Structure 1
């Protein structure tokens, strides 16, 4: 009997802690769901297990490798982290759409605020299938200033180019190209 009373008391206590009137925002995001798209692409590529050629160029020195067991979730993390679908940013980007032909559209999201890391997100779609994503990022601090261009094409691979100017050290120019 004591267990029964204790169980009912706990149930009442826990139900009293749940706030009433909690609303869930089910409205669609105003921007392309980059995080979801990259997660789906990571899963797709992981299941396909394609052989990839990865070329890294760092300050003029180039190294290329053929890789058969790449961790796509980790490799595409930079793209996923560039998602702009955050409620606080819904008014921070302008959306521009350009129709190239029937069903072939380029949508660009341009930052209104220069303090945002993602300055431009471009999504090219043909018949609603994404064929290219391009991201311009800017990072910086008192010690460095970085410009990054990320390009993802599901049929070919991806590229990440970085030009970083360092105040007290050597500047960095890097390029990573992954092809499958």
Structure 2
């Protein structure tokens, strides 16, 4: 009878430990190794749409330029503008352990630069650089992507400055076709003036 009590206590302890481990693993944010960029840009999307901003957009496609002024409340435009940034999710299971992290700290201003650099040649994005203020809030994001093989080359540079500017430069070359170059510059300004 004494052995049964000891076995019961042992299994009860193991059961509690298993439940405790399962609860810890169910929290996805505790498993994330990198800053959750999709969440950050989803929040920026909401902030731009909810405040009184005007977007001044310039698009250059293969040397042809077009400009437009768009309201920041246009949800489709703002979402499409920030979508490439939202797609840069370094916490995807397929990208685990594919990036090295380094940081630079400015003791005078308290600002910090965080750099995620790909360990492989063909990992996209290949590099993410974030500028943080002294409270740790993201102020600026640079995302670089590069892919190349015998028939295809793709380069993309994304730049976001919080509630001020978005810049995207894309170069795409497919074998036997002429390359395509796209540059988008957007200035985000309050409706009352820049």
Partner secondary structure for residue 116 of structure 1:
coil
Number of corresponding residues? 161
Partner secondary structure for residue 118 of structure 1:
coil
Alignment partner of 2:116 out of 109, 129, 134: 109
Alignment partner of 2:144 out of 136, 140, 144: 136
Q: Quick check: 1:79 aligned with 2:82? A: no
Question: Which string of whole-angstrom CA distances, capped at 9 and with x for unpartnered residues, describes residues 15-72 of structure 1?
Answer: xxxxx96933432411111011001000111111411111000111111111115332
Q: Which has the higher helix share?
A: 2
Q: 2-side partners of 1:105 and 1:28: how far apart?
A: 23
- State whether residues 99 and 117 of structure 2, in contact with CA within 8 Å, keep that contact through their aligned partners in structure 1: yes
Q: 2-side partners of 1:142 and 1:84: how far apart?
A: 26
Q: 1-side partners of 2:54 and 2:119: how far apart?
A: 40
Q: 2-side partners of 1:96 and 1:154: how far apart?
A: 22
- State whether residues 99 and 119 of structure 2, in contact with CA within 8 Å, keep that contact through their aligned partners in structure 1: yes
5+ long unaligned stretches in structure 2: 1-17, 189-194
Alignment partner of 2:70 out of 42, 67, 78: 67
- State whether residues 57 and 67 of structure 2, in contact with CA within 8 Å, keep that contact through their aligned partners in structure 1: yes
5+ long unaligned stretches in structure 1: 1-19
Q: 2-side partners of 1:162 and 1:110: how far apart?
A: 19
Q: 2-side partners of 1:141 and 1:44: how far apart?
A: 39
**Large movers: runs of 4+ above 4 Å:** none
Partner secondary structure for residue 163 of structure 2:
coil
Structure 1 partner of 2:167: 159
- State whether residues 122 and 148 of structure 2, in contact with CA within 8 Å, keep that contact through their aligned partners in structure 1: no
Q: Quick check: 1:37 aligned with 2:44? A: no
Structure 2 partner of 1:179: 187
Question: Which string of whole-angstrom CA distances, capped at 9 and with x for unpartnered residues, describes residues 120-169 of structure 1?
Answer: 01110012121100000124565320100000111312011012222121
Change (3 A) 1:25 1:163: same
Q: TM-score, normalised by structure 2?
A: 0.76
Q: 1-side partners of 2:70 and 2:163: how far apart?
A: 17
Q: How does 1:8-27 map to 2 (within 5 A)?
A: 23=22, 24-26=25-27, 27=30
Partner secondary structure for residue 84 of structure 2:
helix
